């Protein structure tokens, strides 16, 4: 039995060598081997002065960051993930005969003055994927205290100085920061194929300007979650099984903790319902060594999602099915614009608007006083 995903049912990574072809419509090709909160891939402070480039730089890091630093290793990891996910989606489109519409366009941008930059890859008009975005960014900047609190909800509690992640008090001045991440949202055409969202990020803050001598603080965050329009138990079980396996490799407590965190985070308060069927979500994670956290969960995206797409992309559907998908996408838009911490952080820090809003679906729908009914 297929049923609409109403609120009562929803409790439940190195540089890509093909980047120079993307703007001319070339595909990703094989992914290169690995070299080693808000999602920074979408929210890095930016402005209308950002410079667009024809090809991505070999690195988005500043010259002073060492090759073996966590900043450099994390950049290599997120660019590897970006390349591999794009290649996997393009492979699905190639089998479907999508042609140029099933390939990613790449936009590379940099911030003036050595403030970092990003690489946005977006597919629109594919045969299988109506819209898909996989973005990375490496950003340096200074954020006001209220933006810090948006990025780090436990900042006030940590203001007294405790905890590995540390905090900035309510009266602290502007906070220098480094943020790097990969973020993706994938919206398929078929109403029976679910939307996928994932992001993984690394965040560092220096001492606030009015607190010299304070130590550098760091944390990881991220997650992967699934948002179907129709509940199909086989797909949900597969998705959660892959997430659990990824978590269990590192710590058997991760999955139950991060699953609950995901359920609590992706909640649309004004609707009284969850956005999707969950997954894993974590933030402010710094109680493990950096090397362990660097490799956590980034390789679970493709095996969790592509088998579901292969099963559902050709499922027959009607106009009524499509209309329901559009209504559910409306809920997706509501959550992202009202509650998502990445979007809030990006808007407060003057983020690059195309990157902030790239997660939104190509189309969505709102109806007045819509009544949910069971589909046969």
CA distance 330 to 187: 13
Res 27 pLDDT > 80: no
Contact (CB, 8 A) for 208 and 173 = yes
d(CA 40, CA 335): 18
Which among 65, 339, 104, 110 is positioned nearest to 202, based on CA atoms?
65
The pLDDT of 194-206, averaged and rounded, is 92
The third-level CATH classification (topology) of the domain covering 70-151+173-357 is oxygen-dependent coproporphyrinogen oxidase (3.40.1500)
Distance of CA 61 to the CA centre of its chain: 20
Q: Dump pLDDT digits (tens) for 103-149.
A: 999 999 887 777 889 999 999 999 999 999 999 999 888 877 666 66
> Domain residues of the chain, as ranges?
70-151+173-357
Which pLDDT tens digit goes with each residue over 142-167?
877 666 666 654 543 343 333 344 44
pLDDT of amino acid 48: 42
List residues with catalytic annotation. 197
Instruction: Find where tokens 């996910």 sit.
Output: 85
Q: Does the pLDDT value for residue 13 go beyond 50?
A: no
- Please, where are the H alpha helices in 156-253? 233-248
Q: Residue 69: count other Cβ atoms within 10 Å of its Cβ.
A: 12
pTM of the predicted model as reported, rounded to 2 decimal places: 0.79
pLDDT single digits (tens) 282-300:
988 888 877 777 777 788 9
The neighbouring-strand residues paired with 195 are 227
Which among 133, 237, 241, 273 is positioned nearest to 195, based on CA atoms?
133
Report percent pLDDT > 70 for the chain.
73
- Long-range interactions of 234-238: CB distance < 8 A, separation 24+: 234/311, 235/194, 235/308, 235/311, 235/312, 236/12, 236/277, 238/304, 238/307, 238/308
How far is 169 from 159, CA to CA, in rounded Å?
Answer: 4
Residue 4: pLDDT above 70?
A: no
Where do the DSSP E strands lie in 206-265?
217-227, 230-231
């Amino acid at each position: 039995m297929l049923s609409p995903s109403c609120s009562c049912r929803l409790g439940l990574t190195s540089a890509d060598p093909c980047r120079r072809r993307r703007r001319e419509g070339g595909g990703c090709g094989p992914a290169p081997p690995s070299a080693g909160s808000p999602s920074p891939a979408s929210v890095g402070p930016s402005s209308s002065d950002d410079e667009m480039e024809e090809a991505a730089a070999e690195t988005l890091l500043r010259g002073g960051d060492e090759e073996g630093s966590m900043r450099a290793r994390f950049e290599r990891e997120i660019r590897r993930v970006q390349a591999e996910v794009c290649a996997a989606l393009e492979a699905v489109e190639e089998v479907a005969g999508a042609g140029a519409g099933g390939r990613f366009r790449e936009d590379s941008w940099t911030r003036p003055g050595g403030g970092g930059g990003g690489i946005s890859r977006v597919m629109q008009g594919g045969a299988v994927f109506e819209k898909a975005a996989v973005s990375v960014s490496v950003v340096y900047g200074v954020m006001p205290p209220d933006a810090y609190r948006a990025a780090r909800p436990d900042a006030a509690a940590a203001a007294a100085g405790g905890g590995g992640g540390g905090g900035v008090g309510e009266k602290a001045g502007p906070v220098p920061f480094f943020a790097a991440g990969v973020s993706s949202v994938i919206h398929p055409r078929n109403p029976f194929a679910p939307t996928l969202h994932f992001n993984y990020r690394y965040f560092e803050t220096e001492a606030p300007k009015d607190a010299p001598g304070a130590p550098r603080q760091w944390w990881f965050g991220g997650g992967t979650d699934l948002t179907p329009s129709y509940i199909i138990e086989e797909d949900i079980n597969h998705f959660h099984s892959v997430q659990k396996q990824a978590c269990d490799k590192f710590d058997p407590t991760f999955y139950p903790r991060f699953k609950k965190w995901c359920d609590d985070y992706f909640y649309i308060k004004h609707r009284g319902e969850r956005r999707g069927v969950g997954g894993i979500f974590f933030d402010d994670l710094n109680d493990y060594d950096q090397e362990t956290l660097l490799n956590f969960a980034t390789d679970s995206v493709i095996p969790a999602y592509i088998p579901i797409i292969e099963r559902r992309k050709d499922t027959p559907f009607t106009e009524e099915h499509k209309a329901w998908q559009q209504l559910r996408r409306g809920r997706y838009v509501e959550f992202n614009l009202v509650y998502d911490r990445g979007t809030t952080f990006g808007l407060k820090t003057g983020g690059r608007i195309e990157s902030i809003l790239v997660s939104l679906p190509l189309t969505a729908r709102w109806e007045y006083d819509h009544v949910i009914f069971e589909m046969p």
